[in-house]
Structure 1
Amino acid sequence: MTPSKRLPRLRRSPDAVSPTAHYTGHVWARNGLGPAELDTRTGAVLHGLLAPLNAVSGRLGGPTLEGLLLGRHQVMDDLLHAAIKDGRISQVVEIASGMSPRGQRFSEQYGEALAYVEADLPAMADRKRRALEGLPRSTTHAVVDFDALREDGPGSLASVMASLDPTRGTAIITEGLLNYLPPEAVRTLWGRLGAELARFPAGVYISDLHLSGELRGGAARGFGVLLAAFVRGRIHFHFADAPAAEKALHESGFDRVVLHRLDDPALGVPARLHAGARLARVIEAWTEAPA
């Protein structure tokens, strides 16, 4: 398999996975991670509908969707901050960013020193641009139309990456995306990302990943069923364990790969979030091993 293989359509229609964008936007806003402009009424309604199920699971010591979202978001933020502050990374591309506030927060904090590109399907990208109007952010923060089906030309991954400065370290982020893709599509995507990042002095891929072998127990399995119903479609768990995922990432061109456990005390995720957060890992994969 090569990076040139075509990816399947990520969404059956422009609205096929929109509930997750609404829900996560509300979660970020209600927890102080993003501005109210990125929240939606639909997100608040969805959060209210799921609140009883999350509350019951939480009282029983089980996972909650909010715990998963907050835990992975915090760790991904922390990894990106570290890579920027030590000078390795000064450009970011976030694929399928939805209503995530990360681009706005990072561009406001780092200003012109950081180029941040959010890439999403045209309808979502347009909604995001309108939501960001009037919010503080740098002139180097952009939201662009993106279509994973395109191998080249406007809106393709190659086009987005070609718009960046090839002399600057670059990060690619995907959050909440991989579960929508079947295994072969994930490997194809990773191959493309590895090939693109290899063109930069330093490159890092940061993403969440669920391992099927770590979704044991009735609560975890039930959580997977709930998540599939919530996104209105099948979700995929691509690898049984960390070694299998690490092997696939190495084969995709990444030199140094770490799959962080979100309940690792060193990462600082609050203990109250661990039951949900431990359902995911966060990938930190470099195309050039950090010094």
Structure 2
Amino acid sequence: MVKEQASRWLSAARISPTALYTGQVWQANGRSIPELQSIPASALHMALAPSMFVSRSFGGPTLEDFLLARHDLIDHHLTEMIESKKITQVIEIAAGLSPRGSRFVERYGDRITYIETDLPGMVAQKKKLLAQRLRVCPNHHVKVVDAFADHGAHSLNGLVGLLDPSKGLAIITEGLLNYFDRDSVLDLWARISKTLSKFKQGAYLSDIHLQAQNADPLAQAFVAGLGIFVRGKVHLHFETAGHLQLAMESLGLACQVHRPSDFADQIPACAGKGADFCRVLFAQPASAVK
């Protein structure tokens, strides 16, 4: 039932508004690539600009605050792992219009293998947009994957069968977890934990919204507004970072939970007013950190 619900919820109709808006935030702030420009995304970004301006004018948060903070902090951790040669393979689940794969392949060339995954509609669109890049970068792939499937070519298990277990693997989910209920998230984490355990080194990077940092009236209003924007409930699965860590430990993952503002000196985007509305988690197989 969990997998059926997750697959049903992960639909273009549900995710597309945030995929478009987030894609344009990356474009407008120099994080993206020209091929991923979109007229609908630009129009949606412009439509929300007045409300973002009002919030910022009164010292409040904006969607861009935590979208940029989480993106840059995930990039920061991934860069460190690649530079240290711990990770040479990356899978980004539900990548949408994320430019991360293109940017990292541009930077590291054949030192890494980068696989972006999504459902068939988004994959077809992105393959078309990135056709020229994919032709000249054999280590950059865009593939169909249902992260909640147990078996088959389009499952996470089927995908990693194409990778080298003697090398390190990082799995990324950005802007995904809070669309799903707790059982669906735990199901996904269990699958990720099992996958990473097959590799010489493994790491999982994601953002997540917790109850504790979204408890004040302003934050609650913000989360409610976000729910309207994505046309569905925004799930806050865990009260604190400690509760999240215990849940991941039960699945064999040792997890650090990072507050973006703690990285403000290193990453300018992490100094935004609303940067701490989310947390960025960095997890590894527990056996690897003992």
For Structure 1 versus Structure 2, the TM-score category normalised by the shorter chain is: over 0.9
Pick from 52, 69, 72 the counterpart of residue 71 of structure 1. Answer: 69
Equivalence map 1:19-34=2 (5 Å): 19-34=17-32
Q: Deviations over 1:35-54 (max 9, x none)?
A: 12112111111111111111
Alignment match, 2:175: 176
Give, in whole Å, the separation in 2 of the partners of 1:7 and 1:195.
20
Per the TM alignment, residue 149 of structure 1 is displaced from its structure 2 partner at its CA by: 4.2
Alignment match, 1:237: 236
Alignment match, 2:6: 9
Give, in whole Å, the separation in 2 of the partners of 1:170 and 1:209.
21
> How many residue pairs align between the two structures?
287
Change (3 A) 1:64 1:153: same
Amino acid of the structure 2 residue aligned with 1:260: H
Amino acid of the structure 2 residue aligned with 1:58: R
SS in 2 for 1:16: helix
Change (3 A) 1:12 1:88: closer
Change (3 A) 1:272 1:262: closer
Tell which deviates more after alignment, 61-70 or 76-85: 61-70
Is residue 2:71 matched to residue 1:41? no
User: Percentage identity across aligned positions?
Assistant: 40
Alignment match, 2:187: 188
Q: Which runs of 5+ in 1 are unaligned?
A: none
Give, in whole Å, the separation in 1 of the partners of 2:147 and 2:111.
28
Per the TM alignment, residue 78 of structure 1 is displaced from its structure 2 partner at its CA by: 0.5
Is residue 2:122 matched to residue 1:124? yes
Name whichever structure is richer in helix by fraction: 2
Give, in whole Å, the separation in 2 of the partners of 1:127 and 1:69.
22
Contact 1:262 1:274 in 2 (8 A): no
Tell which deviates more after alignment, 264-273 or 96-105: 264-273
Give, in whole Å, the separation in 1 of the partners of 2:223 and 2:27.
24
Give, in whole Å, the separation in 1 of the partners of 2:101 and 2:201.
20
SS in 2 for 1:6: helix
Q: Which runs of 5+ in 2 are unaligned?
A: none
Amino acid of the structure 1 residue aligned with 2:111: A
Amino acid of the structure 1 residue aligned with 2:139: T
SS in 1 for 2:87: coil
Give, in whole Å, the separation in 2 of the partners of 1:74 and 1:268.
10
Alignment match, 2:154: 155
Per the TM alignment, residue 225 of structure 1 is displaced from its structure 2 partner at its CA by: 1.1
Contact 2:91 2:171 in 1 (8 A): yes
SS in 1 for 2:98: coil
Q: What do you get for the CA RMSD once the two structures are aligned? A: 1.9
Contact 1:246 1:258 in 2 (8 A): yes
Q: Deviations over 1:197-255 (max 9, x none)?
A: 0110110000001111110222211110111111111110110000000111111111x
TM-score by length of 1: 0.93
Per the TM alignment, residue 273 of structure 1 is displaced from its structure 2 partner at its CA by: 4.4
Contact 1:8 1:149 in 2 (8 A): no
Contact 1:70 1:273 in 2 (8 A): no
Amino acid of the structure 1 residue aligned with 2:196: L
Q: Deviations over 1:150-197 (max 9, x none)?
A: 211121111111111111100000000001110011111101100110
Give, in whole Å, the separation in 2 of the partners of 1:36 and 1:278.
29
Alignment match, 1:284: 282
Change (3 A) 1:267 1:146: farther
Amino acid of the structure 2 residue aligned with 1:8: Q
Give, in whole Å, the separation in 1 of the partners of 2:275 and 2:114.
26
Q: Deviations over 1:104-123 (max 9, x none)?
A: 00011111110100110000
Tell which deviates more after alignment, 66-75 or 53-62: 53-62
Equivalence map 1:130-149=2 (5 Å): 130-135=128-133, 138-149=137-148
Per the TM alignment, residue 56 of structure 1 is displaced from its structure 2 partner at its CA by: 1.4
Change (3 A) 1:107 1:149: same
Amino acid of the structure 1 residue aligned with 2:61: P
Equivalence map 1:94-133=2 (5 Å): 94-133=92-131
Give, in whole Å, the separation in 1 of the partners of 2:197 and 2:11.
32
Per the TM alignment, residue 271 of structure 1 is displaced from its structure 2 partner at its CA by: 6.7
